[in-house]
Amino acid sequence: MAKNAQSGQRASIARTSRVRQERADKAEQQRAAAARPTAQWKEQERKVEERKIADRAAAAEKAAAQKAEAERKRDDAAKVALKRVEDNKKRTEQRRQAQLQADAKRTFNRQAEDKRAAAAEAQKVAATKRAEAYMAAREKAQQADVLASQRHTTSQIRNLHRKEMQSHRQNAAEGHILHAAKMGSIDAAERRDLKALDQQRGSIAGRVASIVRPGHFAQQEKTIKDRHEADRMQKHRDHEAFKERQSENAQKARLRQVQERKWQMELHRFESIAQRHAQQTNRAALVEERRCDFTRATQREQTREQSQDRDQTQQQGMQRTRTPA
């Protein structure tokens, strides 16, 4: 539009110049006509007319050329504007297509990322559940081991207590047997002494002594019986003291065994509580550690499978390449 305005302005200036020139030529002709003869004036007028015709033809040709140039410039400007519009449309379409491709790529990447995140989350949940199950089985096995150890210890203590009480009963029984043997020995010694006294009494010297001292053998018999009876009483007292000691020792042993069993139960309860507390305290860290181990193992397995699939695909491609058409 600016170029068209400039072209019109130049054409207006040219027309103004031609009008002024024509007026100047006409004034010149009038002055020449007044000063020259008629033939010369006619010749000059003819030349002026020819020049005017030539000028008009040149002006018309110039105007036509300027019009053609203006039309060409308008056409060029229209073509440039149309090309600019088409380029703008093309660039807009390209930007729109690029934006659509970028949006589609972002959507695809986001969906792929969401799928990977969901798969990773599912894998993490599966690994966590597997680790929790593993740790639960491990804790149960540990508790079973501790319980088995406690039962074994309790069984050993009960066996020791049973053997100890059996030893007390055996000592009491052996004491009764020994006391009976001692009583038998005293009775046998008494019978031997009385038999020897009877033999001595039946002898000649004994009959003489019975006549001389009528109560001699009766006194000796009484002395023998009293002595052996004193031995019996002493043995009875010793045996009763032994039974009291055995009963006291057995009672002390029973009380001590009850206390030991109580201590053992308290110890086992404390061990169980300490074990459960340690398991609860370390469970989260151990589950996380085991989950990481399972995750790494799964990733290694996936990598190995992908490598095998890739190698198999390459081998199939090589076989197809080697196979003739």
Q: 108-129, pLDDT tens digit by residue? A: 888 888 888 888 788 778 888 8
Which residue has 């009875």 as its token pair?
A: 236
User: With bands split at pLDDT 50, 70 and 90, how would you rate the model's confidence at 8?
Assistant: low
User: With bands split at pLDDT 50, 70 and 90, how would you rate the model's confidence at 50?
Assistant: confident
Looking at residue 233, what is its pLDDT? 93
User: With bands split at pLDDT 50, 70 and 90, how would you rate the model's confidence at 199?
Assistant: confident
Contact 191, 161 (CB under 8 A): no
Q: What is the DSSP string of 88-141?
A: HHHHHHHHHHHHHHHHHHHHHHHHHHHHHHHHHHHHHHHHHHHHHHHHHHHHHH
Domain-by-domain residue ranges, the chain?
Answer: 2-106, 131-280
Over residues 280-298, the mean pLDDT reads 84
Classify residue 287 as exposed, middle or buried by CB count within 10 Å of its CB (0-12, 13-18, 19+).
buried
For the packed helices 204-212 and 38-202, what is the interaxial angle rounded to 10 degrees? 80
Most confident of the following: 61-75, 208-222, 223-237: 223-237
Of the CA atoms within 13 Å of residue 147, those in its CB half-sphere come to 7
User: With bands split at pLDDT 50, 70 and 90, how would you rate the model's confidence at 188?
Assistant: very high
Using the predicted structure, report yes or no on whether residue 5 has a pLDDT greater than 70. Answer: no
Distance CA 278, CA 138 (A): 13
Task: Tell which wins on pLDDT, 282 or 16.
Answer: 282
Residue 130, C-beta contacts closer than 8 angstroms, at least 6 positions apart: 290, 291, 294
Looking at residue 256, what is its pLDDT? 92
Using the predicted structure, report yes or no on whether residue 37 has a pLDDT greater than 60. Answer: no
User: With bands split at pLDDT 50, 70 and 90, how would you rate the model's confidence at 236?
Assistant: very high
Contact 92, 51 (CB under 8 A): no
Lowest mean pLDDT among 165-179, 201-215, 247-261: 201-215
Over residues 126-138, the mean pLDDT reads 84
Structure tokens at 71: 């039309």
Q: 303-324, pLDDT tens digit by residue? A: 888 888 777 877 777 777 766 5
User: With bands split at pLDDT 50, 70 and 90, how would you rate the model's confidence at 24?
Assistant: confident
Task: Tell which wins on pLDDT, 245 or 65.
Answer: 245
Distance CA 31, CA 170 (A): 181
Q: 55-104, pLDDT tens digit by residue? A: 778 777 888 888 888 888 888 888 888 888 888 888 888 888 888 888 88
